Amino acid sequence: MSDAGASRADVLYTNARLATLDGGGGGGGGDGYGIDEDGAVAVRGGRIAWVGPRAEAPPAQRVHDCGGLWLTPGLVDCHTHIVYAGNRSDEWEARLNGATYEDIARAGGGIMSTVRATRAASEDDLLAASLPRIRALLAEGVTTLEIKSGYGLDLASEAKMLRVARRVGALLPVDVCTTFLGAHALPPEYAGRADDYIDMLCGEMLPALAAQGLVDAVDAFCERIGFSHDQTARVFDVARRLGLPVKLHAEQLSDQGGAALVARHGGLSADHLEWLSPEGVAAMAQAGTVAVLLPGAYYFLRETRMPPLAQLRAAGVPLAVATDCNPGTSPMTSLLLALNMACTLWRLTPLEALRGVTVNAARALGRADAGSLAPGQRADFALWDIARPADLAYAIGANPCRGVVNAGVWRDRLS
Ligand code: DI6
Ligand code: FE
């Protein structure tokens, strides 16, 4: 693991118990974690210059003693709708008191209530509403965060959401990946005219947002209550023409053939997947599309149909895990809780879960230089007061994060 060019590092993070998550899927034994119980990481220019046993560490200008804490790659939350305004706990309470979805929809509730609040908020207010949720994620060791648009549904409001996402990345020690999700829901001004909305999205909205540099990837909600297979395909064609990678909310509530569609477009990921078919699994395996598992939405909606994990494993599809943080179906700002849910509800192994929020989540974002500890990777780590890596998925409500390193710079745990 040595690097001949690493003779003088900026910082050496030493006296750490490493889980590098570098290389191999692992079989559930300790080795899949890439463990070195007496390790060190050398950083130069914001990148990892060297990783290995402490006794062989190269010289550095500064030394940071990690005090025997566990050091993992910084966590990656690869699917969130965390920028939004408003609050829907009132609807949730009404439903628990017997109100139906129709009652709530008739009262203007559901996703459209978040769209109204997000449209009405100033850019500064939208940022202020979102920051506490984002800080909660970062306090648990998240160093890379995907943020979707999709509560604006018109050019100005989608641009506002994406600018807020970019500002988050400038304000806080986190690498933000933006995703345009204009095809999330049909805005009321296009009621009954979904194809006209997709025309506008493809012809005006997406090209304009891409030209402003606000879009890193393009997503859609392909569902009976969202957009059709054909409408999604039109969005993907424009994305590919603009050189943008695609991903998809696929097979969450029904099988629309979305996973195979996004795989055919060389998609980064297909997300949710409770209704994924064998054909979808095969298409994802062939294209190298990551399966992003969202146990928070499954839990919150009290779903019972699990994603076909045995088939995904057998086909060698990489598994990622994310919060899906959103006000309607997964009001969750804890990636560690998502790990526990993935293991408890779906029987992922702790190693699969941890790979799902590091190396495979980075892959789901097209960020191959994040999510593992190896020379050349971004120097993004998290430090943990735990007995072994499985504790990250095991404990419920604990936050053992003691600090993060973002692009080589040490930060005390955010609170
Ligand atoms: N799938 C969902 O379940 C959420 N979005 C999506 O694409 C719902 C988002 C919301 O209700 O606000
Ligand atoms: Fe989502």
Cβ atoms of 47 and 378 within 8 Å: the answer is yes
- Greatest Cα pair distance, the chain, in angstroms, is 68
- What residues flank ion ligand 2 with Cβ within 5 A? 324
Residue 7 confidence (pLDDT) = 67
Ligand 1 site, residue 328, Cβ cutoff 6 A: yes
The conformation of residue 31, written as its DSSP 8-state character, comes to G
The conformation of residue 165, written as its DSSP 8-state character, comes to H
Residue 322 confidence (pLDDT) = 99
The atom number, within ligand 1, closest to the CA of 151 reads 12
Residue 24 confidence (pLDDT) = 58
Q: How far away, in angstroms, is 160 Cα from ligand 2 center?
A: 19
Contacts of 348 (CB under 8 A, 6+ apart): 293, 309, 319, 321, 342, 356
Q: How far away, in angstroms, is 96 Cα from ligand 2 center?
A: 23
Ligand 1 site, residue 329, Cβ cutoff 6 A: yes
Any idea of the CA torsion for 147, 152, 153, 159, to the nearest 10 degrees? -70
Return the exposure string of 300-333: e unless at least 16 CB atoms fall within 10 Å of the residue's CB, then b.
beebeeebbbebbeebebbbbbbbbbbbbbbbbb
Average pLDDT per block of 10 residues along the chain, 415 residues long: 63 98 58 93 97 97 97 98 96 92 81 97 98 98 98 98 98 98 97 97 98 98 94 98 98 96 98 98 98 97 96 98 97 98 98 98 97 97 98 97 94 74
Of 81, 89, 95, the one to substitute when testing ligand 1's pocket (max ligand atoms within 8 A of C-beta) is 81
The atom number, within ligand 1, closest to the CA of 88 reads 12
Ligand 1 site, residue 297, Cβ cutoff 6 A: yes
Of 79, 80, 111, 219, the one to substitute when testing ligand 1's pocket (max ligand atoms within 8 A of C-beta) is 111
Ligand 1 site, residue 48, Cβ cutoff 6 A: no
Residue 114 confidence (pLDDT) = 97
Round to the nearest angstrom and report the end-to-end CA distance of the chain.
35
Question: pTM of the predicted model, to two decimals?
Answer: 0.96
Helix (H), strand (E) at residue 77 = strand 75-77
Cβ atoms of 250 and 259 within 8 Å: the answer is yes
3-state secondary structure of 123: helix
Query: DSSP string covering 248-310, please?
Result: EEESSSS--SHHHHHHHTT-SEEEE-TT--HHHHHHHHHHT-EEEE-HHHHHHTT--PPP-HH
Ligand 1 site, residue 179, Cβ cutoff 6 A: no
